[in-house]
Structure 1
């Protein structure tokens, strides 16, 4: 798999964040975070409907562990992060949690402007601190998710579809880099608009890359990246597969295709 589109340092930054997220995920307890007996609509993504009304102190802890890590690996961010920490309000983590779940980037951009921070920084911190909660919820509510009828997005968290893997059985399985939920997808179908008309379906195969393809739709101009993991020796997290295959995004966009949302997170 080619990683020329990203630097070694950027990859190592995210690998460090993933290590922290694994530790956080293991320590979370569903019964302390999510209100039970909720009425859920299976026509829309599940997680934004959940009531995370329990103890959100771990989320606050995630935020500050992450800021400490960023100061260590990217010292140039220290001044901005220390300003964020100095301006931190007592219950701000509750607001950040709420807005990150629904991916309210406008809120975080405005927060950055108000506090004179890099525009991308608040959402980056809020989102990466949140992901263990998303993964816990996706795992806990898997039976309900299997009945989901949500279209053109991850049934669990609502993330636009962009990554699929082909496993040992040769089946194409969509996987969400954000919450790690996975679901089956027809080999010849568009994850964005749902069309399964063969004449609308294009497979782009990068030169000298047998394990990676782009499945694109002429109808809606959406695409996904498809990684064949049957010959890989080491299992990699979905977000690392997504990151390492970013050059496929460039290829798809050069060919006139784009994700169903203006931005994917």
Structure 2
């Protein structure tokens, strides 16, 4: 796979965060996840996590925020003073709000929070999202046998994250992966994840010179794209989150060519 455009330092930080998230998830019990799946809602594209009652441990969530703080301060001392301010701003009430807003991917709330509290814009959502993901990953794990497919254009069927990553497995089966909650589901090899188009004439693959394991599947109908990685050729298979990070150069290529992870109908249709 082509060398990532992401810095080694940031990749290493993400790897450490993913280790923390796995430890955090292991400390949770499946009993805190209480699904109440409604077939009509699922078919309408409501993410399964939104139909699931989750017993959040707020003190634990705040503890995780502190652990992220410590990790970032250790890995990048220059960021230490910038992220430490969060400890003064967060209480139980704010943590509950953070969980709600991170759950719904409300970027505007976190930007406003950062501006109001004079901290860098990336900090609040990054911390909230990082501490939320173990819960989402537990939901995906609990529902893995019930959520086996997605509705094109509506994102991950568990958490709603826009679809952008797939892997080739076994005999070439295409498996879509969510780097947010780690859910995965099979999809037809020639099929747009964003609009369901399966016409081979309007589904193309962009290949990357010097990168035989990666391609970008693009749809001329809705101008959506998905990164498709042949991980069968990898010596060791990275997590979906790391794979997504390491292939960000493919996102740049796709977007520079006019493709997005938000489907839209072609103007010619």
Same fold judged by TM-score > 0.5?
Answer: yes
Q: Secondary structure at the match of 1:166?
A: strand
How many corresponding residue pairs?
259
Contact 2:152 2:196 in 1 (8 A): no
* Residue 8 of structure 2: aligned partner: 8
Contact 2:4 2:248 in 1 (8 A): no
Quote the offset at 1:141 in angstroms: 1.6
1:38 aligned residue (30, 36, 39): 36
2:170 aligned residue (168, 171, 180): 168
Larger deviation, residues 136-145 vs 118-127: 136-145
* Residue 138 of structure 1: aligned partner: 140
* Residue 242 of structure 1: aligned partner: 244
For residues 250-265 of structure 1, the aligned pairs below 5 Å read 250-260=252-262
* Residue 25 of structure 1: aligned partner: 25
* Residue 205 of structure 1: aligned partner: 207
Q: Following superposition, which runs of at least 4 residues in structure 1 exceed 4 angstroms of deviation?
A: 147-151
C-alpha distance in 2 between matches for 1:6 and 1:149: 31
Deviations along 1:31-83, whole A, 9 cap, x unmatched? 1x33x363532122111232224533322221111111111112222222222
Which stretches in structure 2 are left out of the alignment for 5+ residues? 264-269
Which stretches in structure 1 are left out of the alignment for 5+ residues? none
TM value normalised by structure 2? 0.91
Higher strand share: 2
Contact 2:190 2:203 in 1 (8 A): yes
Quote the offset at 1:151 in angstroms: 4.5
TM value normalised by structure 1? 0.92
RMSD: 1.7
C-alpha distance in 2 between matches for 1:19 and 1:172: 26
Q: Secondary structure at the match of 1:85?
A: helix
